[in-house]
Amino acid sequence: MILEQTIEDKTNYKTDKKSEKPIRSVVKSISWRTVGTLDTILISWIITGQVKTALSIGGIELVTKMLLYFFHERVWNSIKWGKK
């Protein structure tokens, strides 16, 4: 209910000065995923003892988590709750 009402109130990003532009969410997701992926690779290497396996896990995780973060960020950006 709150999400539907919030989305209806949003016409586009040009008229909504409090929202972040999608490109900002993209850059934030890339920077965060870099840190997160390095962490995943390190943990995977420690657990498996294999660099190749760790890099494979990190590569898959990089793509999936970046996409999930982007959409998560866009949904939260459309919710008025907690904004000034």
Q: pTM score > 0.75 for this model? A: no
- Inform me whether the pLDDT recorded for 50 exceeds 90: yes
Tokens coding 57: 């896990």
State pLDDT tens for residues 28-45.
878 887 899 999 999 999
pLDDT at position 41 is: 96
Classified as helix, coil or strand, 1 is coil
What rounded mean pLDDT belongs to the chain?
82
d(CA 16, CA 78): 10
> Count of CB atoms within 10 A of residue 75's CB?
12
d(CA 10, CA 17): 11
d(CA 78, CA 5): 10
